[in-house]
């Protein structure tokens, strides 16, 4: 058989066959005097097996490992790992569909979806509570409230918040007045946008924030009170000077209170 005939028999393209030759997945047959490759039925059998294993989801490296073991003793192990990986993907897909279903239900009920969507059902419920609270208060929503949502969505997406995400969620869920207190704090922080560093509202706002956070809810950074690393640098750089001073003071006060 020529390469085109072999490829047609296995249901793939001649280009794929040549690729398998280049990566050593399929041995290249001897060439005839005229320079053409001559394939046998054994080549077609091996090529069909490559296709079946690939369609199961094995990578070409995994296919090579299976083919290298004539007894097939590694195949069960490889297929078991593949099955576990597919199960994880299946669970992830179910979770994603559940999130989409919730978002679609919100949209169908006439709710405005937050700009940070999609997020987990827990965060989506919190953001909906924030939207309802904001709607009952005069004036536009504080910019700091939107910044808080962005931070929560970022921490959830990163999946490694060292307790900050759960602590912040606990702060919002600490009682019926928690959200109102939070929005009072957002307004205070907004008012520091153009304030001087020695403005007495810096200390007042820091103490208001601490009063709104349940004891022990947030993991308090040690050291200089600001945390360290690229995330901390970017976090504080996103505030105006007086706002940054207030947030740093919050950390100091939390450390004193929760030690």
Neighbouring C-alpha atoms within 13 Å toward the C-beta of 147: 17
Three-state DSSP state, 240: coil
Same domain, 123 and 142: yes
Same domain, 56 and 121: no
155 with 121: CB under 8 angstroms?
A: no
Same domain, 209 and 87: no
Same domain, 208 and 131: yes
Burial call 139-155: b when 16+ CB within 10 Å, e when fewer: eebbebbbbbbebbbeb
**Prediction pTM value:** 0.57
CA 105/CA 148 separation, integer angstroms: 24
Band (46; pLDDT cuts 50, 70, 90):
confident
Reply yes or no: is the peptide bond before residue 102 cis, omega within 30 of 0. Answer: no
Same domain, 22 and 79: no
CA 144/CA 147 separation, integer angstroms: 5
CATH of the domain at 7: 1.10.1660.10
Least confident of 4-18, 93-107, 123-137: 93-107
218 with 168: CB under 8 angstroms?
A: yes
Same domain, 59 and 80: no
Same domain, 251 and 155: yes
Question: At a CB cut-off of 8 Å and minimum separation 6, what does 106 contact?
Answer: 113, 124, 128
Which residues face 37 on adjacent strands?
31
Structural domain of residue 97, as residue ranges? Answer: 70-111
CA 116/CA 195 separation, integer angstroms: 29
Reply yes or no: is the peptide bond before residue 247 cis, omega within 30 of 0. Answer: no
Band (197; pLDDT cuts 50, 70, 90):
very high
Same domain, 243 and 131: yes
59 with 23: CB under 8 angstroms?
A: no
Same domain, 212 and 180: yes
Mean pLDDT along residues 108-130: 72
- Average pLDDT over the chain reads 81
Band (196; pLDDT cuts 50, 70, 90):
very high
Same domain, 23 and 142: no
Mean pLDDT along residues 39-50: 82
Read off φ and ψ for residue 71, nearest 5 degrees. -75, -15
What pLDDT does residue 185 have? 92
Least confident of 32-46, 64-78, 160-174, 241-255: 64-78
More confident residue, 74 or 155: 155
CA 194/CA 202 separation, integer angstroms: 11
The tally of domains found in the chain comes to 3
* Residue range 181-194, pLDDT digits in tens: 889 999 999 999 99
Mean pLDDT along residues 47-56: 82
Same domain, 53 and 12: yes
């Amino acid at each position: 058989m020529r390469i085109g005939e072999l490829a047609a028999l296995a249901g793939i393209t001649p280009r794929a066959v040549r690729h398998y030759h280049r990566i050593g997945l399929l041995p290249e047959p001897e060439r005839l005097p005229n320079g053409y490759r001559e394939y046998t039925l054994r080549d077609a059998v091996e090529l069909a097996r490559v296709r079946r294993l690939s369609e199961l989801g094995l990578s070409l490296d995994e296919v090579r490992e299976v083919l290298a073991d004539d007894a097939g003793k590694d195949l069960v192990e490889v297929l078991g790992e593949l099955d576990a990986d597919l199960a994880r993907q299946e669970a992830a897909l179910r979770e994603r569909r559940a999130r989409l279903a919730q978002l679609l239900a919100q949209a169908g009920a006439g709710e405005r979806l937050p700009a940070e969507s999609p997020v987990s059902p827990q965060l989506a419920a919190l953001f909906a509570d924030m939207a309802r609270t904001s709607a009952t208060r005069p004036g536009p929503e504080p910019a700091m409230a939107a910044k808080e949502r962005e931070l929560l969505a970022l921490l959830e997406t990163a999946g490694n918040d060292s307790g900050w995400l759960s602590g912040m969620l606990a702060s919002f869920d600490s009682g019926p007045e928690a959200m109102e207190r939070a929005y009072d704090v957002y307004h205070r922080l907004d008012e520091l946008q153009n304030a001087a560093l020695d403005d007495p509202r810096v200390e007042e706002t820091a103490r208001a924030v601490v009063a709104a956070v349940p004891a022990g809810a947030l993991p308090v950074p040690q050291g200089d009170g600001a945390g360290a690393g690229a995330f901390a640098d970017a976090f504080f750089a996103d505030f105006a000077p007086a706002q940054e001073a207030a947030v740093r003071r919050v950390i100091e006060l939390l450390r004193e209170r929760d030690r």
